[in-house]
Amino acid sequence: MEFELSKPQKEIQKAARDFAKGEFDKEEGIAFSKSRKYPEKILKKAAELGFIGIHYPQSCEGAGMGMLENAIVAEQFCRQDSAMGMAVLLSGFGAECVFRFGEKEIAKRLVLPVVEGKALSALAFFETKMVGRIDAVSTLIAEDNGDIAINGEKNFVLNGMNADFYVVLGRNAEGASFAGDRFFLVAVESDRKGIHLTDAGQTIGNNMVSFGHVHFDNVRVPAENLLQKSGSGPDRPLALVNEARIQLSAMALGTAQGAFDRALDYIRQREQFSRKLAQFQVIRHKIAEMAARIEQTRWLVYKTAWKFDKKKCDAGDAAIAKLTASRCALEVTDEAVQLLGGYGYMTEYEVEHFYRDAKTIEIMMGSSFQLKDAIADVVIGKPGKK
């Protein structure tokens, strides 16, 4: 075992930290969130420095590194500004599907703009009724004269309103020509005919990222957009869910660390009853709890990302990482708000949005109920099997 980042990893960490410190502007971030605007310029700059798609294959102009490197970047970005970090990093939420399962050509065509920071991707996986059950998907994907036709509605899609392409999860329409496996993934450019968007409105956090419902009304794409010719069982789409959960866990770690940094700063400065807050035992113990919480989360997140890179990460690992890290983020940001008192509630002092952002991470891609189901399925075995 070796619990130290390698030299290149440390350089990435430092570069990500420096970039975030230098480029993320607090006032700008608050303004972006307030107006629900996507930070396009920051995305482009991050892309230019190679932070976007650091774990994408070189064939897609990615850096060919791993999830661990991506986690390191996510941690440092979200530490500086959880909302900005999430916005920038979620730009590729969906691109992974394309290069993992698509043909080279489409992978290049769709993923390259993402790596260049010029395009946003979106995972259009969930439907309201699914509630953690991937087999309840009702969107239909059918072959039709050589094209692929998509019909259905995807709900609460991140980047839903401004993605350049969606990766849509569906099942094969009854009577459709391709038989057999039930689940299909298809990349759909957002300028295709028949796509209608409904804004899901303001969100409690993660406010720079749009959130919407995407309706596919007989949308047609060429066959090459079908990411796996033969479809699959639920394992492949679930693998993408796992990958997304690991990424979220790294964002959660950074969010916790960022709130912690600010709380620690504050208690060192602020006086009450003629003493610095840092002198009060109860305040000290809160900081100790937060530090312990972050420390136990950090190694779990790194371990999970590492396991993913070694292709040993199962759904239980990913769910444990997300459950632990998002809970840590909520608890630490919550305590940070409390430590800052009235200021903790004020926009200007930032921790308030770390708290809201943490809660969105906790809900996204499965809240604790779905995560615990997933963990139990691995640890105990699926229910129903005696």
Partner 1 sequence: MKILQYTEDHESFRMRMRGFLESEIMPYTDQWEKEHITPKWAWQKMGQAGFLCTAVPEEYGGLGGDFLYSVIAAEEMTRTNHTGLATMLHSDVVVPYIHTFGSNGQKQKYLPGCVSGDIITAIAMTEPDAGSDLASMTATAEQSGDWIVLNGSKTFISNGINADLVIVAAKNPAVDNPYESVSLYLVEAGTPGFNRGRQLEKMGFHSQDTAEMFFSNCRIPEENRLGNDGAGFYMLMEKLQQERLMTAIGGQAAAEYMLELTQKFCRETTDASGKPLSKQQAVMFALVEMATEVKIGRAFLDKLIAGHAAGEPEIVETSMAKYWITDLAKRISQKCLDLYGDYGFTEACPIARGFRDIRVMSIFAGTNEIMKQIAGKFMGL
Residues in the site for a second copy, rule: CB under 8 A?
A: 1-6, 9, 68, 264, 267-268, 276, 278-279, 281, 284-285, 287-289, 291-292, 295-297, 299-300, 302-303, 306-307, 316-317, 319-320, 323-324, 369, 371-373, 375-376, 379-381, 383-384, 386
Q: Residues near 351 by Cβ (< 8 Å), separated by ≥ 6?
A: 259, 262, 263, 333, 336, 337, 340, 344
> What crossing angle do the helices spanning 281-309 and 235-269 adopt, rounded to 10°?
150
Under rule CB under 8 A, residue 346 binds partner 1: yes
Per partner kind, with CB cut-offs from 5 to 8 A, the member of a second copy, partner 1, none near residue 175 is none
Per partner kind, with CB cut-offs from 5 to 8 A, the member of partner 1, a second copy, none near residue 194 is none
Under rule CB under 8 A, residue 139 binds partner 1: no
Minimum Å gap between C-beta 27 and partner 1 is 11
4 vs 27, beta carbon nearer partner 1: 27
Per partner kind, with CB cut-offs from 5 to 8 A, the member of a second copy, partner 1, none near residue 136 is partner 1
Closest CA to 136 of 156, 150, 152: 152
Residue 348's region, left for phi above 0, alpha for psi from -120 to 50, else beta, is alpha
For 126, 155, 161, the CA distances from 130, given in Å and listed in that order, are 7, 10, 21
Per partner kind, with CB cut-offs from 5 to 8 A, the member of partner 1, a second copy, none near residue 119 is none
For partner 1 (CB under 8 A), the number of binding residues is 51
Kind plus residue range of the DSSP H or E element containing 48: helix 40-48
Report DSSP letters for 256-273, one per residue. Answer: HHHHHHHHHHHHHH-EET
Under rule CB under 8 A, residue 133 binds partner 1: yes
Minimum Å gap between C-beta 142 and partner 1 is 21
Minimum Å gap between C-beta 280 and a second copy is 9
Minimum Å gap between C-beta 348 and partner 1 is 7
Under rule CB under 8 A, residue 162 binds partner 1: no
Q: Exactly one of 23, 164, 317, 334 binds partner 1 (CB under 8 A); which one?
A: 334
353 vs 346: CA distance, rounded Å: 9
Under rule CB under 8 A, residue 204 binds partner 1: yes
Q: Token match 């604790």: residue? A: 368
Yes or no: say if 57 and 64 are a contact pair by the CB < 8 Å rule.
Answer: yes
Yes or no: say if 257 and 294 are a contact pair by the CB < 8 Å rule.
Answer: yes
70 vs 324, beta carbon nearer partner 1: 324
69 vs 81, beta carbon nearer partner 1: 81
- Of residues 234-253, which lie at the interface with partner 1 (CB under 8 A)? none
241 vs 159: CA distance, rounded Å: 16
Cβ-based burial of 344 (10 A; exposed 0-12, middle 13-18, buried ≥19): buried
Q: Which amino acid, 227?
A: L
84 vs 254: CA distance, rounded Å: 12
Residues that bind partner 1 (CB under 8 A): 30, 126, 128-131, 133, 135-136, 155-156, 200-204, 206, 211, 271-274, 280-283, 285, 330, 334, 337-338, 341-342, 344-348, 352-353, 355-356, 359-360, 362-364, 367-369, 372
